Structures are given as structure tokens and as C-alpha cells.
Amino acid sequence: MGNHLAPAQVEAYRRDGYLHPLDCLSRDEARRHRDAIEEWERASGEKATLILRNKGHLKLRVLYDLVHDARILDAVESVIGPDILCWSSSLFVKEPRDDAYVAWHQDSYYWGLEPDDVVSAWVAFAPSTLENGAMQVVPGTHRAPQFPHAKSSPGSANMLFTHEEIAVDVDPGQGRSLLLDEGQMSLHHVKIVHGSPPNRSAARRYGYAIRYAAPHVRQRGDQPWATLVRGRDDHGNFRRDPVPRGDFDPEVLAVFPNLKPVQHRA
């Protein structure tokens, strides 16, 4: 059985577009992931939220191992099937008492992946609470059409690199906060409307969102890269990521020069 979802949970995911809380890491494992990230920040002088936001699993070996964790993949398998690619991953660190927030958006708007057999597993390396800006979703919106998006107002603290947000009114009262203990995770559908308010607490909020796709998914206009993390890929729609042998492996950076910290910051 492992960590596969029960039929009622799969049904709830299909109806609502998200599922939480799901047990995943122990508290000790969650702390070890935080420690590894903070240790890397100290050694490199870089900020995790900037540098590890894009394909963090190809940068830090501890994250590469995590995207292969059977406890996550069992749950993911229950919603997208036994053949699983990790297309990307994003570490969202919210600093204490900081205005940074994530504007309401649908991932499908930015990613161009079709069909929508794409799910994010959002793993909490620290508790995710109302006070520290837990992620919010609007249930059922994954079944709505794709909404238009537009640039956020100038100077906004929207953490999304594109600085865009959904261009229709979202009633904040409809948002459900995905509260998680450290080590727990949530799943959210690629089309669900989601976002998160600022962190008003005295500690960092850590969420690691891992993007998984079934191999029949395609990206509009491009052949993306991905890591096969379970099963097989008989479709060939994704090029195969190199395997990182350590943190910021030069061989990986040779394939993806834009993953280099200094370029990412610009």
C-alpha cells in the first residue's frame, strides 16, 4: 500500500483539485532538509528563495533524492498514474515578517503543459500556518477554463518571477489555507487557482513544490527536460535531465547554464 491514496482521497482530489494534509517526511527529515538549505546558503552567500526556485532538484543533491522519495511518488501515482516525470521543482522560502506574497495564479497559464496530468507536491520543510502565509487554493477552479493573467501592479511584492497574476476577481473568502505540519505535504492540480499571503511570523516559511507530469504530457512549442522518477517513458516528449553527482554539479550546469546562481540573480 505504501503511501498511495485511498479511493475517497483520489475522488476528493479530482473534485476539488487539491488534497491535504498528507504525511510524508518525519519532523527530523524536514529539519534536515532545512538545515541542508541553510548550510548551503551560509557557504555560498546566496539566497535559497532566488536560486533554488527553478529546478532546485538539479542543484542540491538532497532535493534530487527527495523528488524520488517513494512516499511522495506513491501519492502522485494515485492521481497521474505509474509513469512519472519530475519536470521541475520550486523552493518557496518566505522570510520572517516580509511583505512577499504569491499572487493568485494558475500554473497552467505559465507552463504550457498539456493535457493537465500534472500535479505539484508541496512539501513543508517547516510548519505552514495562517500566520506564516500558508498556501491557499480555490477549490474546484481546476475545472474552470483557463483564466487570463496580467502584470501585477508596479512595485508589488509578488514572488512569482513573471510578476503576473490572475486577471479576474478572486474572492479571498473562497480560498482554503493548506495548513501543514513540518514534513507533511499537499497536492495541487496544475490548473487550480492558488496563491499565498505574506509571512507575518518570526520564522521562515519553507515550501518545496515538486512538479510531476505523466509522460504523455507535452509542452507547447518546446521539448522540455525532465527526470524519470518512476515507471517508464514510452512517449519521448521530454529530454532526459542529467543526474547531479553533487551540489551545483558542473556537468549539470554545462547542460543548463542558466541554472548558475549568478545568472539567475540578474
Ligand X SMILES: O=C(O)CCC(=O)C(=O)O
- Vertex 251, ends 246 and 257: CA angle to 5°? 110
Q: How far is the CB of 1 from ligand X (least distance, A)?
A: 27
Comparing CA positions, the residue from 204, 67, 201 lying closest to residue 125 is: 204
Candidate residues 67, 209, 252, 259; the one interacting with ligand X per rule CB under 6 A: 209
Residue 127 found at the interface with ligand X (CB under 6 A): no
Q: How far is the CB of 257 from ligand X (least distance, A)?
A: 25
Candidate residues 107, 116, 165, 249; the one interacting with ligand X per rule CB under 6 A: 107
Q: How far is the CB of 250 from ligand X (least distance, A)?
A: 29
Comparing CA positions, the residue from 197, 255, 234, 226 lying closest to residue 111 is: 226
Cβ closest to ligand X, residue 127 vs residue 207: 207
Cβ closest to ligand X, residue 196 vs residue 227: 196
Q: How far is the CB of 41 from ligand X (least distance, A)?
A: 18
Cβ closest to ligand X, residue 102 vs residue 126: 102
Cβ closest to ligand X, residue 162 vs residue 240: 162
Q: How far is the CB of 197 from ligand X (least distance, A)?
A: 9
Site for ligand X in 53-92 (CB under 6 A): 92
φ, ψ of residue 224 in degrees (nearest 5) = -75, 170
Please report where in the chains the cell 508596479 appears, as a residue.
154
Please report where in the chains the cell 532538509 appears, as a residue.
33
Q: How far is the CB of 218 from ligand X (least distance, A)?
A: 20
Q: Cell for 81? A: 498514474
Candidate residues 40, 64, 109, 122; the one interacting with ligand X per rule CB under 6 A: 122
Question: What would the x/- binding string for ligand X be over residues 165 to 204, using CB under 6 A?
Answer: -----------------------------x-x--------
Cβ closest to ligand X, residue 84 vs residue 100: 100
DSSP for 107-154, written as a single string: HHHHH-EESS-EEEEEEESS-B-TTTT--EE-TTGGGSPPPPEEEPPT
Q: How far is the CB of 251 from ligand X (least distance, A)?
A: 28
Q: How far is the CB of 53 from ligand X (least distance, A)?
A: 10
Residue 132 found at the interface with ligand X (CB under 6 A): no
- Count of chain residues binding ligand X (CB under 6 A): 10
Cβ closest to ligand X, residue 181 vs residue 233: 181
Query: Could you list the residues that contact ligand X (CB under 6 A)?
Result: 92, 102, 107, 120, 122, 135, 194, 196, 207, 209
